[in-house]
Amino acid sequence: MSDIHANATALTRVLEDAGQADAVWCLGDLVGYGPDPNECVEIVRALPNLLCLSGNHDHAVPGKIPLTRFNHDARMAIRWTQAVLTQENAAFLDSLQSKIILGEFTLTHGSPRQPVWEYILDSHSADQSFESFETDYCLVGHSHLPLIFHRLNHDTYALPKPIQWRTPMAMMPRMILNPGSVGQPRDMDPRASFAILDTEVQTWEARRAEYDIFDVQRRILEAGLPERQAVRLMSGW
């Protein structure tokens, strides 16, 4: 999963929908935009067999990225997060790595070339990224879009968005896979997005989970965060 963005309601629903898992791989951006930074960090920290990466918003909270690199709404949310986050949770974000290689998987938030900031949005950017990792698979987040790219015979192809969710797809060597966003999807589908990875049979199952968006919108506005971040949740943009 990736891009939780301080949305504890969506995170809780994703974990309920996923059920029992051997491990959880979180690809970054636990905080930013949403009203529940402490809750989300604490839920993720407590997950068994956790691998957790740092995203650009996670980097910004402890000051590793200047706020001038973010738009107005994101800067407001980061400053608010810095003010409300506990020292323990801030230290956890500060401790996270930006890239992890585990067996045949490279895990990063943005891209294997620029782990924190670069977006992989299309076949062109994916094609360049394939040159930057040697494992069979690279898992990324950051774009808030559930995307899959496959390289075959030096050509890179974008696989279509699943017609049927919750259907395991056979994985092939040399793929870049993005599970989409838990807390702020941007593919015009407001449901929380994540995936189930079966490393034994090499399948990737894209999933969506409905959650109480109205409750999250209310908490965003009560916290004094930008209204736009509440409005966008309903339409998934």
217: domain CATH number is 3.60.21.10
Domain, as residue range, for 125: 8-235
Report yes or no on 82 lying in a domain: yes
Judge whether residue 163 has pLDDT over 80.
no
CA-nearest of 73, 25, 75 to 50 is: 25
- pLDDT classification of 197: cutoffs 50, 70, 90: very high
**206: part of which helix (H) or strand (E)?**
strand 203-209
Note the pLDDT tens digit of each residue in 27-70: 999 999 999 999 999 999 999 999 999 999 999 999 999 999 99
The dihedral of CA 76, 81, 227, 181: what is its sign? positive
Report yes or no on 3 lying in a domain: no
Note the pLDDT tens digit of each residue in 117-139: 999 999 999 999 999 999 999 99
Report yes or no on 137 lying in a domain: yes
Report yes or no on 77 lying in a domain: yes
Supply the pLDDT for residue 178. Answer: 98
Q: Which amino acid, residue 51?
A: L
Judge whether residue 162 has pLDDT over 80.
no
Report yes or no on 1 lying in a domain: no
**56: part of which helix (H) or strand (E)?**
helix 56-60
Note the pLDDT tens digit of each residue in 69-114: 999 999 999 999 999 999 999 999 999 999 999 999 999 999 999 9
Rounded to whole angstroms, the Cα distance separating 4 from 194 reads 10
Report yes or no on 25 lying in a domain: yes
The domain total for the chain is: 1
Opening angle at CA 27, ends 195 and 231, nearest 5: 80
Supply the pLDDT for residue 89. Answer: 98
Report yes or no on 185 lying in a domain: yes
Supply the pLDDT for residue 226. Answer: 97
Report yes or no on 2 lying in a domain: no
How many residues are present in the chain?
237
pTM above 0.85, yes or no: yes
